[in-house]
Structure 1
Amino acid sequence: MVKEAIDCIDAGTEYCPCKLAEYGQCLICSQCQGQVFCDCLNWKGVCIYQELHNNGYKSKEGRKTFDCNVEEVINHNNNLIVIKFKAPHKLVLDLVKPGSYIFIRTDGNQYFDIPISIMNSDIENDIISIAVEIRGIKTAKLLNTKANENIVIRGPYWNGVFGIKNILAQNNTKALILARGIGLAPMIPVIRKLLSQNNELYAVLDKDPFNINFATEFLDKYKIKTSENSLLEKGQLSDHAKVIIKDNLENGVTFIHIAGADILTYSVINYLNEINRNDITLSCCNNFKMCCGEGICGACTSRFSGHRVKRFCKEQADPRNIFEGRRFI
C-alpha cells in the first residue's frame, strides 16, 4: 500500500479558491468542506478559507477564453493534426510546465470544448504547439483549421500529468521515458523539464497507431538517446519493453515517465511489481475524461474503495494510486 497525500493542482494559484470551495467541496481545506476546525490536507502556504472569506465566499475568476491566430497546420493523412498558434505571452508562460493542457472550442459553443495537452510552448516567439489524434466528431472538426485563421481556446490547465512531484524531484540522475501514440505530444514538456534539472534521459518511442514520429521536430532540439520499439503487444507489455526496462534499471535508472494509454501505465506498474522494484518513482499521462476542467461536471471522477470519489481534473496523484483500490464497475 502506497501512502497517499491528497493534492490539488490549483491550490495556492490565482485560480484558488475555485467553484469546489464555493460549493463546500474543496479537495484540501477542511473548513471549505464545512468542517469547524482547520485541518489542511496539503498546506501550500496560502489559507484557502481565508482567501474564500476575503472574496466574499465566492470563487476566484476562472480560466479565460482566448482568440488565437493559427500560424501553421500540419495534417498527417487526416489521422493526426499538428496545430501551431500564437497566444498571449502570459498564457504561453503558464503552459510551459509538464502536464499543461487547454480546451479548444471547435464549433463556437462552450459545450464542444475538447481538452488537448500542450506539446510545446515557445516562450520566445509566443507559439503553442499541439497534436490532436482525430477520433470523433469534435476532433474531426479540427481538420477544417486553416493557417491565418482564429482558434478559440480556454486555459491554462495543469493536471495533464500524474506524479508531477516525482518529476520535480529528479536532479542529476537517470530517467527512462516510455511514450506511445499520441502520448508523444505531452512527453515533450516532461523531457524539457527533466533536462533542465541535469538528468540523463533515454526515450523509447512507439509511434503506433501512427506511421510517423510527429514529435521529431521537438526531440531533435534535445540531446537525448532515443530508440523506436513496440511497447505493447496484444494488450500486454511487450518483451522488448520488459528487456528495455530491466536493462535501464540495472544501469541506474530510478525514474520512469509513461506517456501513453492507461493500459501501458498499468502494465509497467505490474511489471515493476513482478520484479520487486517498487522503489522506482513514476509519472504518467492523465487519461481521465475531461469536460469542464473544474471538477464540477463529474466527467473526470473515479470511485475508489472506501466510498472515495476523486476529481482527476484537479487532484494530483501518484501513478500507482490511480489504479490501487479503484472500482472498475
Structure 2
Amino acid sequence: MANRLECVDVGTEYCPCYLAELNECIVCSQLQGKKFCDCNWKGVCVFQEFVWAGYKAKVTRSTVFTRILKKEEINEEVVILTLKVPNKLARDLNEPGAYVFVRGYFSPSFFDTPMSVMWADEIEGIIKIAIQVTGPKTKFIASAKEGEEVYLRGPYWNGMFGQRYIKGMHNSKALVVLRGIAQAPGVIVILKLIQNKNKVIVLLDKGKVQTNFIKDYIKNSDVTLVEADLLSEEGQEVLKQFIKDKKISVIYSGGSDEQHINILEYMDKYESEAYLAVSNNNKICCGEGICGSCEIEIDGQKMRTCKVQVDIRKMLERKMSRG
C-alpha cells in the first residue's frame, strides 16, 4: 500500500491546483480517480473545495513585475538583489523553504529560475534573494541593474524538507549547518527558530562562493556563530562535536546532498535523537508538479518534490544506494 503523501500547498489559497483537474492530486484520493475518500488531511475537504471552484483549479500563482531596489555585488560569483513586492507576497514568502521564480524583463518564460528567499519584510514589502552566477539564467538575472524591473512568480514553499520540525520547535536548542549559496535560505530558518525562542548554533562554511555573506542578517544573542571548512578534518571534528550534543533537538542542513548524508551518518553513529531538516536540492522547473523534472521514486512511489514533503531518511538512503 502506498504511503499517504503530504503536500505543502494543501489548505492554502492555491489548493486545489492543476493536478486536481488531471486526477493527479497528491492528497485527495477522489481527485486521484478513486471512488472513495481515503485522505489524511484534517482541514477543509480538498474535493469539496474543487467542487466549490467549479471543478477547476483555484487561484493560480501570478507573475508580477518587481523593481530592483538595491543590488549588492558580494564578489564575482554572488549578487544579492532587494526586490519590491506586494506586502502580501512578502508575508507569504517569510517562511522556511520559500522560493520564487525570477527572470529578466526581456526574457522569455523559459528563463524562469527558482530562487530561494533569503529575507522578507512584509511591512516594507521587500524580499532579498542571493544569486550565485553559474550559467546563462543566473548570469542574465545578476546583470540587471538597480531600478530595473524583473518578472517574479510565487509564492512557493517546498524549498526544504522537514518544515514541521523547524516551525514546530520551541524553547529548545538547534544546530544549523550551512555551506556556500545555501546560506541564503538558511537565514529565514534561523530567524524562525529564534522567533520560537530556540537557542541556535550556526555552523557556516564559505564553500565555493568564498564568503559567509549572511552574518549581518543573523546577529542575535540567541545565535552562536562558528565558521569552519566542512571539507577539512578540523571542520568535520567540529561538526561531530555538535552532533554529539544530546541537548540539540533539531538539525537543519543547508547544502549538498553529500552534506545531508554526512550529517545523517554522524547522527546515526552518535545516536542523536534530533529531528533532521534539509534543503531541497532536487531540480525544479515549473513548481506546480506538472513537468516532472523534480520527480523522484521512493519505495516504488513517485513523488513530485516541488510539492511533497518527503521522508528525509528514505530520500538520502536512496541516494546513498546509488552511490
Structure 2: how far apart are the matches of 1:268 and 1:182? 18
Amino acid at match of 1:55: A
Aligned partner letter, 2:218? L
What is the TM-score of this pair, normalised by structure 2? Answer: 0.93
Residue type of the partner of 1:224? V
Give deviations 1:231-257, integer Å, cap 9, x for gaps. 134xxxx55334434345335112101
1:301 partnered with 2:295: yes
1:184 to 2:183 alignment? yes
Q: Contact (CA 8 Å) 1:305, 1:325: kept in 2 or not?
A: no
CA distance in structure 2 between the aligned counterparts of 1:269 and 1:7, rounded to whole angstroms: 22
Compute the displacement of 1:223 (Å): 4.2
Instruction: Provide the residue aligned with 1:196 in structure 2.
Output: 195
User: Matched residues in 2 for 1:204 and 1:111: separation?
Assistant: 36
Classify 1:144/1:59 alpha carbon distance in 2 versus 1 (closer, same or farther; 3 Å).
same
Counterpart check, 1:161 vs 2:160: yes
- Equivalent residue for 2:231? 232
Q: Is it true that 1:118 corresponds to 2:111 in the alignment?
A: no
Does the alignment pair 1:212 with 2:211? Answer: yes
| Selected match of 2:269 from 267, 270, 274 | 274
Distance 2:237 2:51 in 1: 53
CA offset at residue 263 of structure 1?
1.0
Name 2:78's counterpart in structure 1.
80
- Aligned counterpart, 1:316: 309
Compute the TM-score of the two structures, normalised by the length of structure 1. 0.92
Partner deviation per Cα, 1:76-97 (whole Å, 9 max, x = no partner): 3331111001110000000001
1:325, distance to aligned residue in structure 2 (A): 4.2
Match of 1:7 in 2: 6
Displacement, 1:225? 0.8
Q: Mark the CA change 1:318 to 1:232 in structure 2 (over 3 Å): closer, same or farther.
A: farther
SS across alignment from 2:252: strand
Q: Which runs of 5+ in 1 are unaligned?
A: none
- The DSSP-based 3-state class of the residue aligned with 1:192 is helix
**C-alpha separation between the residues in 2 aligned to 1:229 and 1:4?**
39
Query: Contact 1:101 / 1:157 at 8 angstroms: preserved in 2?
Result: yes
Amino acid at match of 1:158: W
1:257 matched to 2:252: yes
Inter-partner Cα distance in structure 2 for 1:97 and 1:316: 15
Q: Percent identity?
A: 38
Deviation readout 1:190-233 (Å, 9 max, x if unpaired): 11110111101110100111232111221235641101001134
Conserved 8 A contact 1:11-1:44: no
Q: Trace 1:239-254 onto structure 2 (pairs within 5 A).
A: 240-247=235-242, 249-250=244-245, 252-254=247-249
